[in-house]
């Protein structure tokens, strides 16, 4: 019996309802889970994780912030123009952070081959002290801090391929050399951060790598960055764990941003992340769901990534676009100052 790909989720996350016509709606997760239940992927096991505890959240957020959100349990609240809580949101946020954290724990223990936390609300825009951009707790930061502080992991490589820049994750690790954050995103675009020159600070200088992209890029452009930039960074960094903020809003059918990635493209990215993890981190790879708002595109992209996690051969795209090549060359020129393996 081979070690399974674990899928962590909890249907209590359906109870997070930011309001009518909000793109980050309960049907996102409902569709994904219905699809995975109706056509089970061999090699996967679906689990409900314990919710994140107060102590686990406090590694990523100050007490005052956790307490402030907890006071909205059972109530509605508008936290910023895009970010709202319904009566079930606080528990959903605990479940999302818990699923992310336990996905990491099971992968580190060797009980999972790799894992995908199928969660909402998403997390990568959440700052330590502030909800933002549909996000309440920063699930990635909670999970990575658990790896660092509770599991003894010394170096984590975090990849963020959501179409938006993961400002909260960048800021959490900005002055630290133990977590290398590499973020591909449309730029300039929401949330405004993610410029090439944001490289980290102090001992963290060079460990924050932004890959700003113009609109309209597709599968081979994204794959190029994973293959030619993130892989050589991992070769120098030697991570013990690879985590991914896996958003699917760069999909061609997703209307939140004008990117042209296909479900095959996401499967290819997942395959490249798997290759990085297998080559440098003993295969330890955890995907965390972030954005992705076109239901069919999201469901199929998640499914294709899960199949790659279980060992399917990912597709291979060819021929990056001129604009993709230009964006890659600029990011590579900046990263080469800090990472010697970049060609």
Q: Which stretch binds Zn ion (CB under 5 A): 35-43, 152-160, 232-240, 247-255?
A: 247-255
Phi then psi for residue 69, to 5 deg, are: -65, -40
- Terminal-residue alpha carbon distance, the chain: 40
From the list 59, 164, 165, 294, which residue makes contact with Zn ion (rule: CB under 5 A)? 164
Helix ranges (H only) for the chain are 26-38, 54-57, 63-70, 89-109, 139-149, 167-172, 219-225, 231-237, 263-280, 295-309, 322-335
Binding status of residue 98 toward Zn ion by CB under 5 A: no
Kindly tell me which residue out of 121, 212, 247, 320 binds Zn ion, with binding defined by CB under 5 A.
Answer: 247
Among 162, 219, 268, 307, binds Zn ion (CB under 5 A): 162
Report how far residue 265's alpha carbon sits from residue 300's, in angstroms, rounded to the nearest whole number.
11
With contact defined as beta carbons under 8 Å apart, do 137 and 52 qualify?
yes
| 102/164 with CB nearer Zn ion | 164
Query: Which residue from 258, 77, 52 is spatially nearest to 145, judged by alpha carbons?
Result: 52
When the beta carbons of 113 and 164 are compared against Zn ion, the nearer one is: 164
CB nearer to Zn ion: pick between 126 and 281 = 126
Decide whether 106 or 249 has the Cβ nearer to Zn ion.
Answer: 249
Answer for the pair 120, 289: CB distance below 8 angstroms, yes or no: yes
24: contact with Zn ion by CB under 5 A: no
Q: How far is the CB of 96 from Zn ion (least distance, A)?
A: 15
* Least gap, CB of 135 to Zn ion (angstroms): 10
Instruction: Report the site for Zn ion in 223-242 (rule: CB under 5 A).
Output: none
**CB-nearer residue toward Zn ion: 133 or 232:** 133
Cis peptide before 121 (omega within 30 of 0): yes
Contact criterion met (CB below 8 Å) for 285 and 114: yes
* Residue with Cβ nearer Zn ion (124 or 148): 124
Give 320's DSSP letter.
-
Within 278-297, which residues bind Zn ion (CB under 5 A)?
A: 291
* Spatial distance between the Cα atoms of 57 and 97, rounded to a whole number of angstroms: 8
- Number of residues this chain uses to bind Zn ion (CB under 5 A): 5
Question: With respect to Zn ion, which residue has the nearer C-beta, 257 or 332?
Answer: 257
Least Å from the CB of residue 293 to Zn ion: 8
Say if residues 281 and 111 touch (Cβ distance below 8 Å): no
Q: CB of residue 124 vs Zn ion: minimum separation in angstroms?
A: 8
Using the contact rule CB under 5 A, the part of the chain among 10-18, 102-110, 156-164, 266-274 near Zn ion is: 156-164
Span from 87-95, 226-234, 245-253, 270-278 in contact with Zn ion (CB under 5 A)? 245-253
CB of 291 to Zn ion, least distance (A): 3
Phi/psi at 184 (5° precision): -95, 130
Residue of 125, 146, 164, 251 with catalytic role: 125
The reply to whether 171 belongs to the active site is no
CB 252 within 8 A of CB 306: no
Minimum CB–partner distance for residue 77 and Zn ion (Å): 22
- Written as one string, the DSSP assignment of 180-196 is EEEEEEESS-TTS---T
- Give dist(CA 286, CA 272) in Å, integer: 13
Angular region, 216: left φ>0, alpha ψ -120 to 50, beta rest: left
φ, ψ of residue 117 in degrees (nearest 5): -90, 110
Of 19-27, 28-36, 82-90, 244-252, the segment contacting Zn ion by CB under 5 A is 244-252
Binding status of residue 249 toward Zn ion by CB under 5 A: yes
Which residues are identified as catalytic?
A: 125
Chain residues that interact with Zn ion, rule: CB under 5 A: 162, 164, 247, 249, 291
């Amino acid at each position: 019996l081979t070690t399974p790909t674990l899928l962590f989720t909890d249907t209590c996350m359906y109870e997070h309802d930011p309001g009518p016509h909000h793109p980050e709606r309960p049907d996102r997760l409902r569709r994904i889970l219905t699809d995975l239940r109706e056509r089970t992927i061999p090699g996967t096991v679906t689990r409900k994780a314990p919710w994140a505890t107060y102590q686990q959240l406090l590694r990523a957020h100050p007490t005052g912030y956790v307490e402030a959100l907890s006071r909205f349990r059972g109530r509605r609240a508008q936290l910023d123009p895009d970010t709202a809580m319904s009566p079930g949101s606080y528990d959903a946020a605990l479940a999302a952070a818990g699923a992310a954290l336990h996905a990491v724990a099971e992968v580190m223990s060797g009980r999972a081959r790799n894992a995908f936390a199928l969660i909402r609300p998403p997390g990568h825009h959440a700052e330590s002290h502030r909800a933002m951009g549909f996000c309440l707790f920063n699930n990635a930061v909670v999970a990575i801090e658990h790896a660092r502080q509770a599991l003894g992991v010394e170096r984590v490589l975090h990849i963020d391929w959501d179409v938006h820049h993961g400002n909260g994750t960048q800021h959490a690790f900005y002055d630290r050399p133990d977590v290398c954050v590499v973020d591909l995103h449309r730029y300039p675009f929401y949330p405004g951060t993610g410029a090439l020159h944001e490289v980290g600070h102090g001992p963290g200088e060079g460990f924050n790598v932004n890959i700003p992209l113009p609109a309209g890029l597709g599968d081979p452009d994204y794959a190029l960055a994973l293959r030619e930039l993130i892989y050589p960074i991992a070769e120098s960094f030697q991570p013990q764990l690879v985590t991914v903020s896996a958003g699917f809003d760069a999909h061609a059918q997703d209307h939140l941003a004008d990117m042209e990635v296909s479900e095959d493209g996401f499967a290819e990215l997942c395959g490249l992340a798997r290759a990085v993890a297998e080559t440098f981190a003993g295969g330890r790879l955890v995907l965390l769901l972030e954005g992705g708002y076109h239901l069919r595109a999201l469901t199929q992209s998640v499914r294709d990534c899960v199949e790659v996690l279980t060992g399917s051969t990912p597709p291979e795209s060819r021929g990056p676009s001129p604009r993709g090549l230009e964006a890659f060359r600029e990011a590579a020129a900046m990263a080469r100052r800090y990472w010697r393996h970049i060609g």
